[in-house]
Structure 1
Amino acid sequence: MASLLACKFILLIGLQFLSLTAAQASPCRPYCGNIPINYPFGIDEGCGSPYYSHILVCSDQGKLELRTPSGRYPVKSISYSDPHIIVTDPFMWNCLDGDSFRPTRPFSLDTSTHLSLSSQNDYLFFNCSEENVIVQPKPMFCERYPEKCDSSCDSSSYLCRHLPECASALTRSTCCSYYPKATESLRLMLKYCASYTSVHWRNTGETQPDDQVPEYGIRVDFDIPVTTRCLQCQDTSKGGGTCGFDTKTQSFLCLCERGNVTTYCNDDSISKRTRNGVIAGTVTGVSVAGAFGIGAGIWYFKKVRAKAPVTCGVQSNENRLF
């Protein structure tokens, strides 16, 4: 009986260790839902560039969100050829709202990151107080007051006259277009306007004038920090690894199937490092839980073996555990 219990205990510990090791060697997830996750982003610890660590969050349901100081926003798409992210803000005005306006919040980005609001965004504000906001047809106003031109909210803008997807959604409300220079100016506008929305211009690949179409959403541009080590790591002739980083030191790591290296996957001249932080918690799990469990198993096995022989299946020199 003791022998049988010892076998079960040892097998259980062995399986736990193998599962932790397998999780440790898993590559970074390349998708969240149907959205590709490539360098410089990552949704697992230690994946991608440290500049974008913890910026993208992937839920268990495969929903990708962008985390900013003003909240978490659903990601609609990511482009790596023309580096940008399109996000939606559920608090912004949409066609279904019509003349009904809900409380909203100003969208903002962390200035310490490599993210920036795209100049391809246009912002529409609704029912602004003309006592506090300059609401004028921009061409006429700029001719009369060129020094105040940048601070005016254009009431004759193309987008106000042609709201994307719902040109006649507003029947009683006023609309004007204004590009905020900073988050503070956006907050100030919302203090005197009922609501706002963001429209970005999507490139269609067609010839002018059909090369761009307006769509609701916020375009966020990002930089791709390219380094020689990352290019070597991704090179398929050198092993085709994934660019990542050490979660403690923030230094570069090439994440490979066999472990982490500081160069590229096929470089056998250096010892492989453990996959530190590629899957959250696996390193700690192996080093503490795994080591403790295996140590306890060895101790228990030796104690039982001193009293009775242990046979896990057919014992031979080939399948002997210790």
Structure 2
Amino acid sequence: MKRSNWNHNLIISLLTLSSFILGFTNAQSKLCRTSCGDIPIKYPFGIDDGCGSPYYRHLFICSSDSGQNQKQQQLELRTPSGRYPIKNITYSDPHILVSDPFMWNCQDGINFRPARPFSLDASTHFKLSAQNDYLFFNCSPDEVIMEPKPMFCERFPEQCDSTCDSSSYLCRHMPECASALRGSSCCSYYPKSTESLRLMLRHCASYASVYWRNLGVTPPFDQVPEYGVRVDFEIPVTTRCLQCEDPVKGGGICGFDSQTQNFLCLCPKGNVTTFCHDPNISQHTRSTVVAGTATAVSVVGAFGIGAGVWYVRKVMTKAPVTHGVVSNENRLF
């Protein structure tokens, strides 16, 4: 390849790259959806990469395109066992309510479908809430201990945790459909892990998760059972995030660099590592640091398009001719 052609191709490539970077900067500075359907999306969560906390990256999916009716959008939680519709997110008492279409429901009656055990990634900051109860149906009496728990625990205290309570309140008062089981056996057991849930399902026809929803009145034990899974989450609070969100300091949105996962404060005019109204940061700096890109600045980003082309020409006039083979002597990056 002739050196003149090589110079020309590199200049064109860098101009194209610079246009992409500048266009991506403008788009990213305004990117962070705050809702999906009627469910608000706040820190530490984010639908778009670079928004929220990296602890919950790629775990939420808004299932419809932004052009569709917002009310028709469905927020879903991605876990190792599948994607699950989210019914609600509560930030004051941090938890998510998830519906699981694979579990037994009232419409199934005694037609038990094979169930897929719900699981969470242990590396995330999610955990199954202790407010969940698990009901198992038509379990094998040869493989599963099904006994009224109070009586069984009195007789065998060392095996108390291994029994599936056949006299549980929920088995006797099935939420929404008291007579749906029509004589099928039911017992309540809280799995200690996903593996124990799998073991139970090997010997039971199906299962359902029931969480206790607080009615929001006093006393706090006024709760009603509903089908679904309650997943508790942590809100990582940092000084940088509090400063970023402070309205006096600019009211930014806490986010992160999608390549390094380092903290970024997402501001209307660009993204910074401190807060939007930081007087120590120039306007130019704010516009070049963006969520979803590397924090390192390219040659074009550092010098501008014109200066970048000048830099390429200056370097290429001194570069040795290597017949199209990139060597350490003429490598630009």
TM-score band, normalised by the shorter chain? 0.7 to 0.9
How far apart are 1:17 and its partner, in Å? 9.0
Higher normalized contact order (CA 8 Å, seq sep 6+, divided by chain length) = 1
2:34 paired with 1:30: yes
- Check the 8 A contact 2:132/2:210 in 1, yes or no: yes
For residues 199 and 84 of structure 1, what CA distance do their matches in structure 2 show? 15
Are 1:98 and 2:112 counterparts? no
Instruction: State which of 115, 118, 121 in structure 1 corresponds to 2:132.
Output: 121
Aligned with 1:261 (options 272, 276, 281): 272
1:20 and 1:40 mapped to 2: Cα distance? 24
Cα displacement (A) at 1:19:
6.3
Aligned mate of 2:290, from 233, 254, 276: 276
Superposed displacement of residue 208, structure 1: 3.9
Aligned with 1:243: secondary structure? Answer: strand
Contact 1:247 1:276 in 2 (8 A): no
* Count of aligned pairs between the two proteins: 279
Following superposition, the deviation at residue 211 of structure 1 comes to 1.4
Deviation at 1:207, TM superposition (A): 2.8
3-state SS, counterpart of residue 190 of structure 1: helix
Question: How is 1:128-147 mapped onto 2 (pairs within 5 angstroms)?
Answer: 128-147=139-158
> Is 2:86 the counterpart of 1:75?
yes
Q: Which residue identity does 2:132 align to in structure 1? A: N
Whole-Å separation in 2 of the counterparts to 1:21 and 1:248: 15
Question: How far does the alpha carbon of each residue in 1:47-97 deviate from its partner, in whole angstroms, 9 at most, with x for none?
Answer: 000111011111225211111111111111100000000001100000100
Deviation (angstroms), 1:209: 7.9
Report the more deviating stretch, 181-190 or 198-207: 198-207
For the residue of structure 1 that corresponds to 2:224, the secondary structure is strand
How far is the alpha carbon of 1:16 from its aligned partner?
A: 9.1
How many Å separate the matches in 1 of 2:21 and 2:211? Answer: 50
Distance 1:16 1:264 in 2: 26
Residues 152 and 160, structure 2, Cα contact 8 Å, conserved in 1: yes
Choose from 56, 62, 70 the match for 1:58.
62
Verify: 1:111 aligned to 2:122, yes or no: yes
Pick aligned residue for 1:42 from 40, 46, 55: 46
Structure 2: gaps of 5 or more residues? 1-18, 66-72, 310-333
Give the corresponding residue for 1:167: 178
Shift of 1:199: 0.2
Would the alpha carbon gap of residues 107 and 164 (structure 1) be closer, same or farther in structure 2, given more than 3 Å must change? same
Equivalent position amino acid for 1:276 in 2: V
Once residues 21 and 115 of structure 1 are traced to their aligned partners in structure 2, the CA distance between those partners, rounded to angstroms, is: 32
- Does the C-alpha gap of structure 1 residues 73 and 138 become closer, same or farther in structure 2, counting only changes over 3 Å? same
Relative distance call for 1:147 and 1:83 in structure 2 (3 A) is: same
1:193 maps to which of 192, 204, 218:
204
Equivalent pair of 2:214/2:220 in contact (CA under 8 Å): no
- Where does residue 319 of structure 2 map in the other structure? none
Equivalent position amino acid for 1:88 in 2: S
Partner of 2:261: 250
- Equivalent-residue separation in structure 1 for 2:264 and 2:97 (angstroms): 29
Structure 2 CA distance for partners of 1:47 and 1:189, relative to 1, 3 Å: same
Partner residue in 1 for 2:166: 155
Alignment CA distance shift 1:175-1:211 (3 Å): same
Match of 2:11 in 1: none
Structure 1 distance, partners of 2:22, 2:121, is 40
Q: Is the 8 A contact 1:24 1:275 kept in 2?
A: no
**Matches of 1:209 and 1:70 in 2, distance apart?**
33
Task: Please report the TM-score for the alignment, with normalisation by the length of structure 1.
Answer: 0.80
Identity of aligned residues (%): 71
* Paired position in structure 2 for 1:313: none
d(CA) in 1 for partners of 2:221 and 2:153?
28
Tell me if structure 2 keeps the 8 A contact 1:27–1:257: no
Query: How far 1:24 sits from its partner (Å)?
Result: 2.5
Displacement after TM superposition at 1:210 (Å): 6.0
Residues 276 and 35 (structure 1), Cα distance of their counterparts in 2 relative to 1, 3 Å cut = same
